[in-house]
Amino acid sequence: MDRLKRMALFARVVELGAMSAAARELGMTPSAVSQQLRQLEAETGVALLHRSTRRLATTEAGQAYYEGCAAMLHAAQSAERRLGDLRDAPRGELRVAAPVTFATRHLAPALAPLLREYPELSLRLFAEDRQIDLLGERIDLAIRVGSLADSSFIARRLTEWRHLLVATRAYAAEHGLPQSPEELGTHPMLILSVLNQPQFVELHRVGAQTRRVRVDGRIAGNNAEALKQLMLQHLGIARLPEVDIASELAEGRVVQVLPEWQMSPIGVYAVTMRRDSQPPKVRMAIEALRDYLLAGGSAAHAAHRDD
């Protein structure tokens, strides 16, 4: 075994916390692992590990050496994964579930380059505003926006969206706009929820207490794009993701309500069945979505369309 392999072995022993565990993982005997580590200590000229019958710990020098060895090992593993991605290009059927508005405004433009580059990859898109049964529909990747239900599935945060309270200039001219959080209750609100349920808006401002205001959810629904269109018909104040209303704000068709108050951002998550051993089609779809959203989402898509 050469020195680089001994360095990788040392990193795995530290990460697993036991020579026996590293021996099992690497198909070696514990005595062989111990011998290689002693050889590494002889080569470096320092003690790397404190050994006892109960526990294994790095020395101060060993901890510093481990960090370098681990970086080397993880870089090599990353290179192997990237090579595997090139060797095993995404192919087959990718089954994705997402809310309707997200599928239209974000998922389609994010995955289009991937589908163009890999003609052996096909897409089956389930655009639903209800939470679809991932197991029953054999979903590879689901997009969730907002709070996550307790689940045995794995959720990765792709980005966070700032939400704004907005209304059209015509609505503001006819009805005025609230000047305090409490005045929101006197205006009709367009709410992402179910009718006939009490609705609240929670607002924060530096130097002020958080305000939780009950509002009139006169119009409610489970589709953000439909609520946006109703808001553009001057029917009230809507809470919408900034990324989905940015162009209307820039054009001046829409104004922000209570701009000095903020709402908690909403997380956007990629949900899969497992974290490890993802096939290339799933891993690369998640990367494409994350990169697209972090680059500006629909704003970037709008700029692309205008070119």
> pTM of the prediction?
0.62
Across the chain, the runs of DSSP E, i.e. the strands, are: 49-51, 56-58, 92-98, 121-127, 141-145, 154-161, 163-168, 188-192, 199-205, 208-221, 237-241, 254-256, 266-272
Answer whether residue 262 shows pLDDT above 60. Answer: yes
pLDDT in tens, 236-255: 999 998 988 999 999 999 99
pLDDT at res. 305? 45
Long-range Cβ pairs for the range 196-203 (8 Å, 24+): 201/165, 201/239, 201/263, 202/263, 202/264, 203/258, 203/261, 203/262, 203/263
The arithmetic mean of pLDDT across residues 107-118, rounded, is 96
Answer whether residue 211 shows pLDDT above 80. Answer: yes
Domain ranges for the chain: 3-87, 92-161+267-306, 163-264
Domain 92-161+267-306 has CATH 3.40.190.10: yes
Answer whether residue 197 shows pLDDT above 70. Answer: no
Region 3-87: CATH code = 1.10.10.10
pLDDT at res. 297? 61
Cβ neighbours around 204 below 10 Å, total: 13
Q: Where residue 85 falls among pLDDT bands split at 50, 70, 90?
A: low
pLDDT at res. 306? 44
Same fold, 92-161+267-306 and 163-264: yes
CA dist 16 and 139 (Å) reads 33
pLDDT at res. 113? 96
pLDDT in tens, 65-78: 999 999 999 999 88
pLDDT in tens, 220-233: 888 888 999 999 99
Region 163-264: CATH code = 3.40.190.290
Answer whether residue 7 shows pLDDT above 60. Answer: yes
Tokens standing for residue 157: 């945060």
pLDDT in tens, 9-58: 999 999 888 899 899 999 999 999 999 999 999 999 999 998 876 678 89
Which of 135, 142, 158, 177 is CA-nearest to residue 292?
158
pLDDT at res. 218? 80
Beta-carbon contacts of residue 40 (< 8 Å; ≥ 6 apart): 3, 6, 7, 9, 10, 48
136 or 306, which is more confident:
136
> What mean pLDDT value characterizes the chain?
88
Answer whether residue 149 shows pLDDT above 80. Answer: no
The arithmetic mean of pLDDT across residues 118-128, rounded, is 94
